[in-house]
């Protein structure tokens, strides 16, 4: 997972200095701490930089559902409004708050930003909170995130020699290299099995659930149930993205590439339930929009039936199982 100092994947001098500043006496740190620095450090963090990360343009690294344009926001607004009305609640009394909006930033009143930019909606107002921004929630809200939880630091572990080891990072002549330290886990796996533990995502859900608000929680993200993560994904789910290329080299070019892993939906649901939410519902993105925004989808398809317009193509991309429809899931719950 390392690279030579003169490699284009090597850490910058600025990141190396920050790594040394935060490393322990042995020059090491847990991978989760490394990831936190690589993504969120105020000087060199990937999400702290004022650059366009999402989209298809040169210099971007990945695309997501929001790249499909306004139709994604229209689907989200329609689905959230229907879920609220089905629970006997008035969308007009709820503020729509998107957490994890680009760019990085703190909470701000922004009626023109986020997934509802330019989208007619029934809500009392909108706010966006950028990735890594302070989250403050109160009153009646619709709290929505799109690929927020998978951007939280995780803890890679690997099963070797009959026990689990936690992955750390240290410097070897300015090269980032992986270290292993024995740790205690309550399950046994096959030799070499890797479990990238998304604890920070669960902790974020707990913080959100503890705040004094009520309404609808909706997370659109990619993840798995705990049993799948422990039994069906032996190579783990941690990935890096740079210029639309996926890599397993998580230590390359820190601060310049995105790092992510599948979240554990069981842990998100547990955090919501502990915060007083009704049992969370987990659906594929395709199923979520078809079931809860069907009244919006039907006339949209009818209006675009005679042509393959950009709007129709975007809808297909969001819903079709071979595109984003099955890649992403939606978890929603009410309190």
pLDDT mean over 95-123: 73
Between 294-303 and 310-319, two packed helices, what is the crossing angle to 10 degrees? 140
Q: What is the mean pLDDT of the chain?
A: 88
For residue 41, give both structure tokens: 């450090």
> Buried b / exposed e across 235-261, counting CB within 10 Å, b at 16+?
ebbbbbbbeeeeeeebbbbbbbbbbbb
Q: How confident is the model at residue 67 (pLDDT cuts 50, 70, 90)?
A: low
**Percentage of the chain surpassing pLDDT 70?**
86
- For residue 49, what pLDDT is reported? 77
pLDDT mean over 21-49: 94
Q: Is the pLDDT assigned to residue 144 strictly greater than 80?
A: yes
Q: Is the pLDDT assigned to residue 112 strictly greater than 60?
A: no
pLDDT mean over 150-169: 96
Q: Is the pLDDT assigned to residue 52 strictly greater than 90?
A: no
Q: Is the pTM of this model over 0.85?
A: yes
Alpha-carbon span 217 to 137, nearest angstrom: 12
Alpha-carbon span 53 to 255, nearest angstrom: 12
Alpha-carbon span 281 to 196, nearest angstrom: 24
- For residue 109, what pLDDT is reported? 42
Between 243 and 150, the higher pLDDT residue: 150
pLDDT digits (tens, 9 = 90+) for 206-241: 999 999 999 999 999 999 999 999 999 999 999 999
pLDDT mean over 108-124: 76
Q: Is the pLDDT assigned to residue 259 strictly greater than 50?
A: yes
For residue 332, give the nearest of 91, 144, 101 by alpha carbon. 144
Alpha-carbon span 133 to 136, nearest angstrom: 9
Q: Is the pLDDT assigned to residue 101 strictly greater than 70?
A: yes
Q: Is the pLDDT assigned to residue 45 strictly greater than 70?
A: yes
Q: Is the pLDDT assigned to residue 173 strictly greater than 80?
A: yes
Between 55 and 91, the higher pLDDT residue: 91
For residue 9, give both structure tokens: 């994947």
């Amino acid at each position: 997972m390392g690279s030579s100092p003169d490699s284009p994947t090597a850490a910058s001098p600025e990141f190396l200095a920050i790594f040394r500043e935060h490393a322990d006496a042995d020059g090491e740190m847990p991978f989760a701490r490394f990831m936190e620095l690589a993504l969120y450090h105020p000087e060199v963090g990937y999400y702290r930089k004022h650059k366009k990360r999402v989209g298809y343009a040169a210099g971007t690294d990945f695309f997501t559902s929001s790249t499909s344009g306004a139709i994604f926001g229209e689907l989200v607004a329609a689905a959230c409004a229907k879920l609220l009305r089905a629970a006997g609640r008035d969308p007009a009394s709820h503020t729509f708050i998107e957490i994890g909006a680009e760019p990085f930033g703190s909470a701000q009143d922004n009626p023109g930003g986020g997934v509802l930019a330019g989208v007619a909606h029934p809500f009392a107002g909108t706010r966006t909170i950028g990735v890594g921004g302070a989250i403050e929630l109160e009153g009646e809200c619709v709290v929505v995130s799109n690929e927020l939880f998978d951007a939280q630091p995780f803890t890679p572990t690997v099963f070797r020699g009959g026990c689990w080891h936690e992955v750390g990072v240290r410097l070897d002549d300015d090269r980032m290299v992986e270290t292993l330290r024995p740790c205690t886990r309550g399950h046994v796996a096959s030799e070499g099995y890797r479990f990238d533990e998304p604890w920070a995502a669960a902790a974020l859900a707990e913080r959100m659930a503890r705040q004094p608000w009520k309404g609808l929680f909706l997370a659109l993200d990619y993840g798995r149930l705990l049993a799948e993560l422990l039994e069906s994904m032996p190579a783990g789910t941690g990935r890096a993205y740079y210029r639309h290329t996926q890599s397993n080299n998580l230590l390359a070019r820190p601060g310049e590439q995105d790092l992510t892993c599948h979240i554990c939906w069981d842990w998100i649901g547990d955090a919501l339930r502990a915060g007083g939410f009704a049992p969370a519902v987990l659906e594929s993105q395709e199923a979520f929009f078809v079931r809860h925004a069907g009244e919006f989808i039907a006339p949209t398809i009818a209006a675009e039936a005679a042509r393959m317009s950009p709007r129709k193509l975007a809808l297909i991309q969001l819903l079709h199982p071979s595109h984003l429809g099955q890649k992403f899931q939606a978890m929603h719950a009410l309190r």
